[in-house]
Amino acid sequence: MSPSPRDPVIAGLGITELGKVYGPTAADFAAQAVRRAAADAGLALADIDGLLVSSGTTNGVRLDLQRDLELTDLRLLSEMQSYGSTAGAMVQLASMAVQAGMADVVACVWADNPLRPGRSAGAAYGAGARPQAGWPGLLTASGVVGANHLYALAARRHMETYGTTSEQFGAIAIAQRAWAAMNPLAQLREPITLDDYLASRWIAEPFRLLDCCLVSNGGIAVIVTSADRAADLAQPPVHVLGWAQSHPGHSGRRDDDFGLVTGAAQAGPAALSMAGVGLADIGVVELYDCYTFTVLVTLEDYGFCPKGEGGRFVESGILGPGGDLALNTGGGELSAYYMWGMTPLSEAVIQARGQGGQRQVAEHELVLVSGNGGILDHHSTLVLGGRR
């Protein structure tokens, strides 16, 4: 299909200070991220006529952000929430709005500030048990009190079914830390070995500390506009070529495929088909990595390797710098920063622009991006192109 002037592109990227940053509210981070994204694109705030907002555990970014930014006469305004798949979903909605002429310049922003001085990351994400009724109450009574335990159950099922090992999970953590060492924005940049991984403390078996993502304060925004509008802006446009979502709705009952198949199995091929490309055309892969296991099962479901062979695939050395598959090139949520789906999206934009510095991948014309939400309940996929 020939390019159209209304084809959607990402024209601006705004990233606040990330990590253990105390003081600003989630709304403060969001406003700062939008301002930075507009400035990055070479746009004035007044040019924005669409605003999509989301936040994490604190729900601190609301429609009031419009007033905080003094935006008037917006043609599109909404809060969105599909957990870690939200960033991809926001770009999808913004892209459709631009294509339809519903809005011309749409800011998509996610921000949160769960970290507090003197409080653990686990407490920030509500890892403690809370009284609940019904099925959630039974889970709590059995000791399943948060995402760590539920993802651990999924990972354990994969291990029991296919023979996946802890050492294979460790290969993912090690490769991503090697990428993070070249990312000045990464919170953790010290290289790690398999011995370091195996020595890290248990969180919820089979997950060790180095299997689990960071917790970060901060905000990230992107600006979606049309190809014709982006032609004269400050940054090289990143074309939004394909997108899809999938929401499996795991029942938790007998014969469910929880832990074995995720929404990536539907959303990945659909997004690639929309873009008119195949996996062999993809140069960079940025996957949602709340846990090492999430990376492994997503690689399988996207088709980079057969189902059940993800462990052998990742331990082959293919993922790190110099490997054949450039994956999570900024360090991901495991080592760089945890901004839900904005983590893989932001690095995808950087790579597609060719602005990755020391970690820049040579073949970066097509980038595959995933978002994962809930306990493998929601999935979004984007295919981005640095050229059209």
Residue 351 falls inside a structural domain: yes
Whether residue 271 is found in the same domain as residue 376: yes
Tell me, letter by letter, the H, E, C secondary structure of 47-72. HCCEEEEEECCCCCCCCCHHHHCCCC
Whether residue 320 is found in the same domain as residue 265: yes
Domain containing residue 32: 8-115+217-226
DSSP-assigned beta bridge partners for residue 222: 13, 108
H helix runs in the chain, sequence order: 26-41, 65-68, 86-100, 121-124, 134-141, 147-162, 166-180, 194-199, 227-230, 264-275, 292-302, 310-314, 332-335, 342-353
**Secondary structure letter of residue 264 according to DSSP:** H
197 is catalytic: no
Residue 139 falls inside a structural domain: no
Active-site residue (options: 83, 288, 291, 337): 288
How many Cα atoms occupy the beta-carbon half-sphere of 25 within 13 Å? 10
- pLDDT, residue 388, reads 60
Whether residue 221 is found in the same domain as residue 291: no
- pLDDT, residue 122, reads 74
**Angle subtended at Cα 214 by Cα 149 and Cα 355, rounded to the nearest 5 degrees:** 135
One-letter amino acid for residue 378 of the chain: H
Whether residue 82 is found in the same domain as residue 209: no
Residue 291 falls inside a structural domain: yes
**330: phi then psi, degrees, rounded to nearest 5:** -100, -5
Whether residue 163 is found in the same domain as residue 39: no
Whether residue 105 is found in the same domain as residue 152: no
Among 175, 192, 226, which residue terminates a domain?
226
Residue 133 falls inside a structural domain: no
Active-site residue (options: 83, 197, 302, 338): 338
Whether residue 191 is found in the same domain as residue 253: yes
Strand bridging mode 378-385 / 8-15: unpaired
CATH classification of the domain holding 280: 3.40.47.10
Residue 127 falls inside a structural domain: no
Q: Number of structural domains, the chain?
A: 2
Instruction: Summarize pLDDT for 26-43 with one digit per residue, the tens.
Output: 999 999 999 999 999 999
* Token couple for 252: 């938790």
Whether residue 371 is found in the same domain as residue 312: yes
Residue 275 falls inside a structural domain: yes
- C-alpha distances out from residue 340 to 37, 56, 85, Å: 18, 8, 8
Residue 336 falls inside a structural domain: yes
- pLDDT, residue 136, reads 64
Whether residue 101 is found in the same domain as residue 173: no
Per-residue pLDDT of the chain (388 residues; tens, 9 = 90+): 557 889 999 999 999 999 999 999 999 999 999 999 999 999 999 999 999 999 999 999 999 999 999 999 999 999 999 999 999 999 999 999 999 999 999 999 999 999 999 888 777 776 545 666 776 666 666 667 789 999 999 999 999 999 999 999 999 999 999 999 999 999 999 999 999 999 999 999 999 999 999 999 999 999 999 999 999 999 999 999 999 999 999 877 788 999 999 999 999 999 999 999 999 999 999 999 999 999 999 999 999 999 999 999 999 999 999 999 999 999 999 999 999 999 999 999 999 999 999 999 999 999 999 999 999 999 999 999 987 6
Whether residue 304 is found in the same domain as residue 186: yes
- pLDDT, residue 135, reads 63
Residue 123 falls inside a structural domain: no
What is the number of other CB atoms lying within 10 angstroms of the CB of residue 150?
A: 20
Whether residue 65 is found in the same domain as residue 178: no
Among 168, 197, 226, which residue terminates a domain?
226
83 is catalytic: no
The answer, as to whether pTM is greater than 0.85, is yes
Among 196, 226, 256, which residue terminates a domain?
226
Reference 308, options 324, 297, 317; nearest CA is 297
Whether residue 279 is found in the same domain as residue 373: yes
- pLDDT, residue 131, reads 62
